[in-house]
Amino acid sequence: MDIRQKQPSITGRNAVLGNPAILEGVVREAIGDHFHVDPATIDLNQCLSGGPFNADGLDVMELGTEIMERLEFPIPKDEWERFLDNKTGTEPIRLRPAELVQLFHSVGKSLEQTADLLAIEDIPPRKN
């Protein structure tokens, strides 16, 4: 019987904008599960095309989808395609796990700023 207190699941904006270590952990776990490796042994600066991963374009797409599902935070399609254009298309895939962490964090920040601007625009004008 596990007597440790279960930690609340952190998803969505809280994970993407919160503690970077949480986002890094989600990326590590997704990569570990996908490639059947211990997440603690993953070097975030090692290209996924190298051993032990030997990732191809399909692996990258599946990883992105898996991370989005785990975080319950979708990356807009155009943003994801723009990101992948620089990483795929030629073998080997030039993608490091650290870049996935950075992508989710930067898109989250960008969406947060957009939401803040939209909230400001929704404020009705003051009546004199």
Where residue 108 sits, what CATH number does that domain have?
A: 1.10.1200.10
Whether the per-residue pLDDT at 3 is higher than 50: the answer is no
Q: How many domains does the chain have?
A: 1
* 125 inside domain: no
Whole-prediction pTM: 0.72
Residue 113, number of CB atoms within 10 A of its CB: 10
Q: What confidence tens digit (pLDDT) does each residue in 75-113 have?
A: 888 888 888 776 655 566 788 999 998 888 887 777 665
In a domain, 75, yes or no: yes
Per-residue pLDDT of 11-70, as tens digits, reads: 555 555 667 788 899 899 999 999 999 999 999 999 998 888 999 888 988 999 999 888
Whole-number pLDDT of residue 103: 87
SS3 state at 111: helix
Q: Does a structural domain hold residue 25?
A: yes
For residues 44 and 60, give the distance between their C-alpha atoms in angstroms, rounded to a whole number.
15
Residue 20: domain span = 12-117
Instruction: Flag whether 106 is in a domain.
Output: yes
Distance, in Å, from the CA atom of 31 to the CA atom of 11, rounded to the nearest integer, reads 17
